[in-house]
Amino acid sequence: MQRHVLIAIVLTALLPGAQAQALSAKDKMATCKFGADDQKLQGAARESFLKKCMANKNDPRGPAAPAAPAAPAGAPPKP
């Protein structure tokens, strides 16, 4: 049991230190070109896709929906 607690403490201490690495512009362009090639885009459609991809504006889900206001504490849930 103590071993599991020790492992949990070590993992908790190490995880916040691990940084997520952002893509460099070169890596991002390679990813966007792969997407354009995969969709077999050419001409203006390809250029438009690459421009949106590099600007992170090609999310097919659309813009994020605004979050619903939180219910006050102790309020009954809505059916």
φ, ψ (nearest 5 deg) of residue 41: -85, 145
The stretch 55-61 carries a mean pLDDT of: 63
Length, in residues, of the chain = 79
Percent of the chain with pLDDT over 70: 53
The residue whose two tokens read 């020790």 is 6
Question: Looking at residue 25, what is its pLDDT?
Answer: 82
pLDDT in tens, 20-38: 555 688 888 998 999 999 9
Q: For the chain, give every domain's residue range.
A: 23-56
Listed in sequence order, the residues at least 6 apart from 17 whose beta carbon sits closer than 8 Å to its beta carbon are none
pTM greater than 0.85 (yes/no): no
